[in-house]
Structure 1
Amino acid sequence: MKSKSKTPKISIITIVLNNRIFLDHTIQSVASQEFTNYEYIIIDGGSTDGTKELIKDSEKKIDYWVSEPDRGIYDAMNKGAKLAKGEWLLFLNAGDRFANPKVLSDIFQLNNLNTYDFIFGNWYTCNLLKTPDLLIPGTASYERGAILHQSVVYKKKLHEVYGYYLLTPKLIISDYIFFLSIPRNLVFHFEHPISINDNTGVSTAPWSYKQKLAIDYVFRRITAFRLVVLYLKFHIPRFDLYLSKKLSELFTKH
Structure 2
Amino acid sequence: MLPKLSIITIVLNNKEFFAHTLESIREQSFKEFEYIVIDGGSRDGTLELIKKNKSRIDYWVSEPDRGIYDAMNKGLKVAKGEWIIYLNAGDRFADRNVLASFFKLKNLEDVDFVFGNWYTCNLLKDPNLLFPGFANYEKGAILHQSVIYKKKLHDLYGNYLITPKLIISDYIFFLTIPKAKVFHFDQPISINDNTGVSTAPWSYKQKLAIDFVFGRITAFQLVFLFVKFHIPRFDRYVINFFKGNKIWFKK
- The bucket for the TM-score relative to the shorter chain is over 0.9
The yes-or-no answer on 1:141 pairing with 2:142 is: no
What do residues 117-143 of structure 1 show as CA deviations (whole Å, max 9, x unaligned)?
A: 110000000000002111000000110
Structure 1 residue 161: Cα displacement: 0.4
Distance 1:196 1:245 in 2: 38
Is residue 123 from structure 1 mapped to residue 112 from structure 2 by the alignment? no
Q: Which runs of 5+ in 2 are unaligned?
A: none
In the alignment, the residues of structure 2 paired with residue 246 and residue 106 of structure 1 have an alpha-carbon distance, to the nearest angstrom, of 49
Which amino acid in structure 1 is aligned with residue 153 of structure 2?
L
1:17 is aligned to: 12
In the alignment, the residues of structure 2 paired with residue 211 and residue 124 of structure 1 have an alpha-carbon distance, to the nearest angstrom, of 23
Q: Percent identity?
A: 70
* Offset of residue 249 of structure 1: 5.0
- The amino acid that maps onto 1:13 is I
* 2:95 is aligned with 1:112: no
Instruction: Provide, for residues 151-209 of structure 1, a one-character-per-residue CA deviation record: whole Å limited to 9, x for no partner.
Output: 00001110010000001121000000000000000000000000000000000000111
Larger mean Cα displacement after TM superposition, 173-182 or 228-237: 228-237
1:114 counterpart SS class: coil
Alignment of 1:77 with 2:40, yes or no, is no
- Residue 248 of structure 1 deviates from its aligned partner by 4.6
SS in 2 for 1:115: coil
The two structures have a TM-score, normalised by structure 2, of 0.96
User: What is the DSSP-based 3-state SS (H/G/I as helix, E as strand, rest coil) of the residue aligned with 2:20?
Assistant: helix
- How does 1:132-171 map onto structure 2 within 5 Å? 132-171=127-166
What residue ranges of structure 1 are gaps of 5+ in the alignment?
none
2:193 equivalent to 1:180:
no
CA contact (8 A) 2:20 2:92 kept: yes
Q: Name the amino acid aligned to 2:140.
A: G
Look up the match of 2:86.
91
Question: 1:244 offset after TM fit, Å?
Answer: 2.7
Stretch moving more, 42-51 or 241-250:
241-250
Which residue does 2:56 correspond to in 1?
Answer: 61
Tell me the distance in 2 between the aligned counterparts of 1:200 and 1:229.
26
Match of 1:207 in 2: 202
What displacement does 1:10 show? 0.2
TM-score (norm 1): 0.94
Shift of 1:246: 3.4
How many residue pairs match? The answer is: 247
Taking the aligned partners of 1:80 and 1:220, their CA distance within structure 2 comes to 31
Cα distance in 2, alignment partners of residues 182 and 125 from structure 1: 26
Contact 2:8 2:36 in 1 (8 A): yes
2:109 match: secondary structure = helix
Amino acid at match of 1:14: T
Q: Give, as a single letter, the amino acid of the residue that structure 1 aligns with 2:178.
A: P
Letter in 2 for 1:155: K
C-alpha RMSD of matched pairs (Å): 1.4
Look up the equivalent residue of 2:64 and give its one-letter code. P
4+ aligned runs moved over 3 Å, structure 1? 245-252
Residue type at the aligned position of 1:145: G
